[in-house]
Amino acid sequence: MDAPPLPQAFLSRRFPAPTETQLKARYCLRVNTDDSILKPEAIAERAKGASVLFVTATEQVDETLIKALSPSLKAIATLSVGHDHIDLNAARAFGIRVLHTPDVLSDACAEIAMMLVLNACRRGFEADRMVRTGNWPGWAPTQLLGKGLVGANLCILGMGRIGRAIATRARAFGMQIQYHNRNRLSAQLEGDAIFHASLEGMLACADVLVIAAPGSAQAKGSINETRLSCLPKGAVVVNISRGDIVDDNALISALESGRIFAAGLDVFANEPEIDPRYRSLPNVFLTPHIGSATRETRDAMGWLLIDGLDKLSKGDLPSNLIV
């Protein structure tokens, strides 16, 4: 007897080779070979008939796209922990499962958060530029003085798995951990971290603010002028979550005036078309959304999706199912 045909799937971006190899063994896979960022209409056209749609945070999976791919579409698998780019209500309404990649990227994201904290506090961009451009006049007692981390309050907005992985690393640098979260953590998860029920209350204590809360429609623009003005003068802002949580005008004007000492940003509103003013500010350290960008992490993210889809096909509910 002939083997049943493989289910159809569409891969919207190029995934690391080990993941693509596994996907090709399981699906009749159509691939967006040039790795371009496709608009929903283009995905609707190219993914027609697919039962699984693989996306990343760069693809907007809106109601129109979900409707267009229904009824053949059974699952959307995103190579990201964030799922603010997917209309979950529409997926639910059309009976489509949605899987993501929590946990396996927490350590990698926490590493990038610490890289941004260190580079913002210790003026990494200016230091690199000075050496690279041949403008280093030699060691000087007053050169590139930054902010030390020992004893500083690291205030984490969003104390989920990534937030806690950041806290673990920051403790080793001698920082005091404070956090604001929808819910207070258990005593075991909280450890010595101080919980603030009010965001403004936490901001008032921050030497360094790290934004690690998930992106969402409600979170958009929530770190605005009013909230930034709660930070003590000379605070540092780091964002590894979603760029649109921060109001760019407010952050840029606080960086220009020096009220905020520096920022470290891995994520931006409207990526990759970031607000161009960031490019010329010497007190920002910029990285291009590389929180989870290690080989091991991206492979683990791929495996998590593959295992989850395998479970779903056997009628089981995987732990990384959102809808």
Closest CA to 308 of 291, 295, 323, 293: 323
Q: Which member of 80, 106, 178, 181 binds ligand DGY (CB under 6 A)?
A: 80
Is 132 noted as a catalytic residue in this protein?
no
H-run or E-run covering 245: none
Task: Decide whether 204 or 274 has the Cβ nearer to ligand DGY.
Answer: 274
Task: Decide whether 57 or 219 has the Cβ nearer to ligand DGY.
Answer: 57
Is 242 noted as a catalytic residue in this protein?
yes
Task: Decide whether 82 or 302 has the Cβ nearer to ligand DGY.
Answer: 82
| Span interacting with ligand DGY, options 77-85, 127-135, 205-213, 251-259, rule CB under 6 A | 77-85
Choose, from 242, 259, 279, 296, the residue flagged as catalytic: 242
Q: Which member of 43, 50, 53, 57 binds ligand DGY (CB under 6 A)?
A: 57
b/e string for 52-67 if b means 16 or more Cβ within 10 A? bbbbbbbbbbeeebbe
Q: Based on the shown chain and the rule CB under 6 A, indicate whether residue 181 belongs to the binding site for ligand DGY.
A: no
Q: Based on the shown chain and the rule CB under 6 A, indicate whether residue 81 belongs to the binding site for ligand DGY.
A: yes
How far apart are CB 18 and ligand DGY at their closest, in Å? Answer: 18
Question: Which residues in 262-301 contact ligand DGY (CB under 6 A)?
Answer: 291-292
How far apart are CB 254 and ligand DGY at their closest, in Å? Answer: 24
How far apart are CB 288 and ligand DGY at their closest, in Å? Answer: 11
State the number of binding residues for ligand DGY (CB under 6 A).
8
Phi, psi (5° rounding) for residue 285?
A: -110, 120
Note whether 156 and 172 are within 8 A (CB).
no
Choose, from 289, 295, 296, 298, the residue flagged as catalytic: 289
Q: Which member of 82, 124, 158, 308 binds ligand DGY (CB under 6 A)?
A: 82
Is 271 noted as a catalytic residue in this protein?
yes
How far apart are CB 107 and ligand DGY at their closest, in Å? Answer: 13
Note whether 52 and 96 are within 8 A (CB).
no
b/e string for 114-143 if b means 16 or more Cβ within 10 A? bbbbbbbbbbbbbeeeeeeeeeeeeeeeee
How far apart are CB 82 and ligand DGY at their closest, in Å? Answer: 3
| Distance set, CA 180 to CA 152, 204, 212, 270 (Å) | 17, 12, 10, 26
Place of tokens 């003005």: 229
In a 3-state reduction of DSSP, which class is residue 97? strand
Q: Could you tell me the sign of the dihedral formed by the alpha carbons of 149, 152, 156, 161, in that order?
A: positive
Q: Catalytic residue numbers? A: 242, 271, 289
Sites of contact with ligand DGY (CB under 6 A) = 56-57, 80-82, 105, 291-292
